[in-house]
Amino acid sequence: MIALKTKDQIDRIRESCRLLARMFHEIEPMVQAGMTTLELDRWAENFIRSHGGKPAFKGYQGFPGTLCTSINQEVIHGIPKNKKIVEGDLVSLDCGIDLKGFFSDMAVTFVVGEVTSEEKLLVEVTRQSLDAGIVAAQPGARVRDISNAVTSVVKPHRFGIVHQYCGHGVGFSQHEDPQVPNAVALGTSPRIVPGMVLAIEPMINLGKAEVRVLSDDWTVVTVDGKKSAHFEHTIAILEESSEVLTRED
């Protein structure tokens, strides 16, 4: 069941989202060679708790971290470790905040040092596909219109669009209905209506679309070992438009 939110509830979700956007802004300069993802995770947890929130991911179905930290061929759900980031890495951070019972969700892929032109293009196309999905998420449209928009940006570049994982509703909990696929799928597709709050999150691979889960039961990696990028925003559907909530003022 899709849980629609009132204006007051969206205001509370917006507070959580803006705190999360601020966290990403402040963590960005730390994502550099020599830093470990465990250090980033500890900083993020301290930031969230010091501002009155709770890390939404920590303990969720047993996940051990505040951040999902996925590097290079790791697509999503990477566990923070003591391994150092190095030049040439693509580092994807995904995080959510529970701020007094209202949830936010956001992800960014950071480029560390010099990478190939193809890898730069992958990151830019993934960001552009998120922007296109947001534009398509308007009242009266359907969820499949978001999928179509993401696909239309990515397809000309022949990158792999991850289809085993997708976006979702968010706000009252970390994951809610509806699912928001990035690849076009057959079947029914919910109408987008005011009161929906959605996390749109394209996961795009340099090579094949297929992924697998490592033995830690969390980390999702590309089957061909090629790099991946991931961007996510939480948006609210209003009466006549949509609003990106995970943006700083």
Report the chain's terminal Cα–Cα distance, integer Å.
32
From 115-124, 144-153, 187-196, the region with the lowest mean pLDDT: 187-196
Q: Characterize the bridge pairing of strands 203-205 and 228-230.
A: antiparallel
Q: What pLDDT is attached to residue 161?
A: 98
Domain boundaries, the chain: 7-238
Percentage with pLDDT > 90 across the chain: 97
Q: For all residues of the chain together, what is the average pLDDT? A: 97
The mean per-residue pLDDT over the stretch 164-188 comes to 93
Q: How far is CA 207 from CA 51, 222, 225, 227, in A?
A: 40, 8, 8, 8
Phi, psi torsion values for 84, nearest 5 degrees? -80, 145
The region, left, alpha or beta by phi > 0 then psi within -120 to 50, assigned to residue 189 is: beta
Residue with tokens 């060679």: 33
- 86, 80, 7: which is closest to 45 by C-alpha? 80
How far is residue 243's CA from residue 135's CA, in Å, rounded to a whole number?
A: 10
How far is residue 10's CA from residue 4's CA, in Å, rounded to a whole number?
A: 10
The mean per-residue pLDDT over the stretch 64-78 comes to 98
CB 19 within 8 A of CB 53: yes
Estimate to the nearest angstrom the gap between the alpha carbon of 199 and the chain centroid.
7
3-class state of residue 239 by DSSP = coil
**The CATH homologous superfamily of the domain defined by 7-238:** Creatinase/methionine aminopeptidase superfamily (3.90.230.10)
Structure confidence by residue, pLDDT tens digits, 24-50:
999 999 999 999 999 999 999 999 999
Whether 58 has a pLDDT exceeding 90, the answer reads yes
Structure confidence by residue, pLDDT tens digits, 91-102:
999 999 999 999
Q: How confident is the model at residue 187 (pLDDT cuts 50, 70, 90)?
A: confident
The mean per-residue pLDDT over the stretch 65-75 comes to 98
Q: Which residues, 6+ apart, have CB-to-CB distance to 102 below 8 Å?
A: 9, 12, 13, 15, 16, 171, 172
How far is residue 94's CA from residue 92's CA, in Å, rounded to a whole number?
A: 7
Rounded to two decimals, the pTM is 0.97
Q: What pLDDT is attached to residue 4?
A: 98
Cis peptide before 178 (omega within 30 of 0): yes
